[in-house]
Amino acid sequence: MLKKRKTSREVREENEDLRKLERELKLRGYTPRTISAYKLYVGLYKEYVKERNLKEDVESLKDFLAYLLTEKQYKATSIAMVKAALLFYFENLKSIEVSPKHLATPKKPKKLPVVLSRDEVKRLIDAADSEKKKLIVMVLYATGLRVSELINLKVKDLYFNEGVIRVVSGKGKKDRVVTVSERLLRRLKDYVRTKTPEDYVFVSKYGDKLSSRYIQYLVKDLALAAGISKEVTPHVLRHSYATHLLEAGTNIRVIQELLGHANLQTTQIYTKVSLDELKKVKSPLDNI
């Protein structure tokens, strides 16, 4: 089926809608990545209703979500993002109230996070062939920083005397403080000794800020080099940090603060993945 060619007026109207959407998202402090995703999904929806000569309303929204699920085979995680984008569009640009409960879609699968053992973390660090790479892995594991927080870390955020790192405007635009081991702080202090307070701690070979993609590929490559069969990502190091803190007896509310979680329920998933704690439970068979 050939797509109906848009008129210049329709193109202008669609571009104007997307421009307004971007402006509203920026005003509310959404990240560039989220803004890009929202614009993509709203654009796809507008194309969908245009091609089928539908109105932009709740019914066409349901049709669109069903189309993505059945014909485009979108996963539940992607559908959740599409739904969030379109709910924002309807409520803020179309002034149409849409209750999420009226848009029943598959729930996102709740998978337990992958966690490395302490030995696997050590092997990952040892696999790095430069001080920069070693320190990147060490900081991710020792602080639980997100990738975006790591690449935006500046020298002035390292408080050597206090033994902490200040995370500026992490997720949710909230600053927080995380503790760092003395061993890591000594290595960081030596690593940044020639940098200015405004410099990024980690930069590319050209002196630019590192990209998230670089960190992701680095961790993946190191995991392969270390012979770790698990699927290792930077976020796995964050999971491992939280789980190992819990196993060491750290209060879960303290872990919530260190991770920068707004909701304690988000942190509580780590109570389900602590293998050390599970191993402490004796089988009732042993008491017979």
Check: pTM over 0.95? Answer yes or no.
Answer: no
28 among known catalytic residues: no
Establish whether 235 is a catalytic residue. Answer: yes
Express each pLDDT in 155-210 by its tens digit.
999 999 888 888 886 555 567 888 888 889 999 999 999 999 999 999 998 889 99
Catalytic residue among 83, 134, 146, 244: 146
39, 134, 176, 238: the catalytic one is: 238
Q: Is 239 a catalytic residue?
A: no
In this structure, how many other beta carbons lie within 10 angstroms of the beta carbon of residue 239? 20
Q: Which CATH class is domain 8-102?
A: mainly alpha
CATH class held by domain 118-276: mainly alpha
pLDDT in tens, 181-191: 888 999 999 99
Of 173, 168, 164, 175, nearest to 198 by C-alpha is: 168
Residue 244 appears among annotated catalytic residues? no
Give the domain ranges of the chain.
8-102, 118-276
For 70-108, the pLDDT digits (tens) are: 899 888 888 889 999 999 999 998 888 887 777 777 676
Contact present, 93 and 85 (Cβ < 8 Å): no
Contact (Cβ atoms closer than 8 angstroms) between residue 246 and residue 255: yes
Task: For residue 261, indicate whether it is catalytic.
Answer: yes
Residue 270 is among the residues annotated as catalytic for this protein: yes
Q: Which residue blocks in the chain are alpha helix, DSSP H?
A: 8-27, 32-51, 58-70, 76-93, 118-127, 131-143, 147-151, 182-191, 212-225, 234-247, 252-259, 264-267, 275-279
Q: pLDDT of 229-269, one tens digit each?
A: 999 999 899 888 888 888 878 777 777 777 776 666 656 66
Which of 171, 187, 209, 220 is catalytic? The answer is: 171
- How far apart CA 118 and CA 84 sit, in angstroms, is 37
